[in-house]
Amino acid sequence: MIVVVSVTSCVPRQEIVYFQGLERAEQLSTNNRKSLTIKPKDQLTISVSAPEQEAAIPFNLPLAGSGNVLDPTSVSGQPRLQTYLVDDNGAIIFPVLGTLDVEGMTRGELSGLLKEKISKYVQDPIVTVRIVNFQISVLGEVTRPGTFDINDEYLSLPQALGMAGDMSIYGRRDNVLVMREENGKNKHAYLNLTDADIINSPFYYLKQNDVVYVEPNDAQRQASSYNRNSGIYISIASLLVSVIVLIAR
Q: What is the mean pLDDT of residues 31-51?
A: 87
| Amino acid present at 230 | S
Domain assignments of the chain as residue spans, ordered by start: 2-34+136-222, 43-131
Other beta carbons within 10 angstroms of residue 134's beta carbon come to 21
Q: How much is the pLDDT for 74?
A: 44
3-state secondary structure the chain: CHHHHHHHHCCCHHHCCCCECHHHHHHCCCCCCCCCECCCCCEEEEEEECCCHHHHHHHCCCCCCCCCCCCHHHCCCCCCCCCEECCCCCEEEECCCEEEECCCCEHHHHHHHHHHHHCCCCCCCEEEEEECCCEEEEEECECCCEEEECCCCCCEHHHHHHHCCCECCCECCCCEEEEEEECCEEEEEEECCCEHHHHHCCCCECCCCCEEEECECHHHHHHHCCCCCHHHHHHHHHHHHHHHHHHHC
Q: What is the pLDDT of residues 43-83, one digit of tens each?
A: 999 999 999 989 999 999 988 764 444 444 444 456 778 99
pLDDT band at 221 (very low <50, low <70, confident <90, very high): low
Query: Which has more confidence, 126 or 35?
Result: 126
Q: How much is the pLDDT for 242?
A: 83
Q: How much is the pLDDT for 25?
A: 58
pLDDT band at 219 (very low <50, low <70, confident <90, very high): low
Q: What is the pLDDT of residues 86-101, one digit of tens each?
A: 999 999 999 999 999 9
| CATH code assigned to 43-131 | 3.30.1950.10
Q: How much is the pLDDT for 73?
A: 44
Query: Which has more confidence, 211 or 5?
Result: 211
Domains 2-34+136-222 and 43-131 fall in the same CATH topology: no
| CATH code assigned to 2-34+136-222 | 3.10.560.10
3-state secondary structure 135-202: EEEEEECECCCEEEECCCCCCEHHHHHHHCCCECCCECCCCEEEEEEECCEEEEEEECCCEHHHHHCC
pLDDT band at 197 (very low <50, low <70, confident <90, very high): confident
Q: How much is the pLDDT for 117?
A: 95
pLDDT band at 196 (very low <50, low <70, confident <90, very high): confident
Query: Which has more confidence, 41 or 18?
Result: 41
- Confidence check: pLDDT of 166 > 70: yes
Q: What is the mean pLDDT of the chain?
A: 82
* Claim: this prediction has a pTM higher than 0.85: no
- Output phi, psi for 240, to 5 deg: -65, -45
Q: What is the pLDDT of residues 173-189, one digit of tens each?
A: 999 999 998 877 899 99
Q: What is the pLDDT of residues 106-161, one digit of tens each?
A: 999 999 999 999 999 999 999 999 998 899 999 999 999 999 998 888 899 999 99
